[in-house]
A = this chain, B = another copy of it.
Amino acid sequence: MTTIGFLTDFGLQDDFVGTCHGVILRIAPEARVIDVTHGIPPQAILQGAIVLRNTTPYMPVGVHLAVVDPDVGGERRAVALQTADGRTFVGPDNGLLMLAADQLGVAAAHELLDERYRLPEVSRTFHARDIFAPAAAHLAVGVPIGELGPAVDPETLVRVDSPDPDVGRSQISATVVGIDRFGNIATNLLAHHLAALGISTGDRVEVRISFDRYYASVVGTFADAAPGELIVYEDSYGLVTLAISRGNAARLTGARLGDELRLAVE
């Protein structure tokens, strides 16, 4: 019984996700599909890649189906990758899979061209249903990855441009890479970036987003702060994150994905 982790930007308002579940279970009736998330912002390949990288270690070793695909029907390739630990990743060759796959080491890559493993009719706008879900399901029932199509040189796979923080002597320029339901604002900073500025738990920091300036406490968790207090903490995936204890930091600051967030010792 193989599990298929399924991550997209499809949302749950439409039938996109459910239809792919149907396609999978027609081919692989015993497969277990885990909906990792379908809430990636529409067409946000980088966010999808980050969430896929963060969540993969918590998923059973199996198939990982990921689709954020603004160029569906165009020139981009459809691929399946095998990683050194025995996982397989299925999705568009636009960088989405690569933060996760490169971390594990790509052992093989194949283009999804064999018609036996697609639906009989392939639309030009819903390859998740017609190409990716069938490929994931066939992998789940044991079809070897090499059967899905010709080998692809892993070096030629498209990588995402992942923004790096800019760490100065007294301040850091970071990028907002995630905003969750609770309004917590995740950045591309890791704990060692804060350490480089000598910032540690218990310190106060200045945070600038656009022209607005805030002051926050560096803490371990929400319960270390008073309700309503602005805090900076390392989130459960290791990303430095701005939040409000029992509140919503995204609503307060108006921060959006891709915004610059500057952080300095107070």
> Which residues of A line the B interface, CB within 8 A?
1, 3, 5, 7, 10-19, 21-23, 25-26, 29, 32, 34-39, 42-43, 51, 54-55, 58-60, 70-76, 123-126, 129-130, 180-182, 220-224, 233, 235-236, 246, 248
Q: Is the CB of B42 within 8 A of A15?
A: no
Q: Is the CB of B43 within 8 A of A130?
A: no
Q: Is the CB of A11 within 8 A of B58?
A: no
**Can you show 18 pairs from A to B with CB atoms below 8 A apart?**
A3-B22, A12-B12, A12-B37, A14-B181, A15-B51, A18-B36, A19-B36, A19-B55, A21-B35, A22-B34, A22-B55, A23-B58, A25-B34, A26-B58, A42-B248, A70-B246, A123-B236, A125-B236
For residue A10, which residues in chain B have a CB less than 8 angstroms away from its CB? 181
Choose among B15, B38, B129, B233 the residue that contacts A36 (Cβ–Cβ < 8 A).
Answer: B15
Choose among B70, B74, B126 the residue that contacts A224 (Cβ–Cβ < 8 A).
Answer: B74
For residue A51, which residues in chain B have a CB less than 8 angstroms away from its CB? 15
Q: Is the CB of A181 within 8 A of B29?
A: no
Given A14-B39, A71-B223, A236-B123, the answer on whether A29 and B1 have CB atoms closer than 8 Å is yes
For residue A7, which residues in chain B have a CB less than 8 angstroms away from its CB? 15, 18
Query: Which among A1, A55, A125 has the greatest number of chain B C-beta atoms within 10 A?
Result: A125
For residue A22, which residues in chain B have a CB less than 8 angstroms away from its CB? 3, 5, 34, 36, 55, 58-60
Q: In this complex, what residue of B is CB-closest to A225?
A: B74
Q: Using A3-B25, A126-B235 as known contacts, list a sample of 13 further A-B pairs with CB atoms less than 8 Å apart, ordered by residue number in A.
A: A1-B29, A11-B39, A12-B39, A13-B180, A13-B181, A16-B180, A18-B34, A22-B34, A26-B59, A58-B129, A72-B222, A74-B224, A126-B236
Q: Is the CB of B14 within 8 A of A222?
A: no
- Determine the distance from Cα of A76 to Cα of B222 in the docked complex, in whole angstroms: 12
Given A222-B71, A222-B73, the answer on whether A39 and B23 have CB atoms closer than 8 Å is no
Q: Is the CB of A223 within 8 A of B75?
A: yes
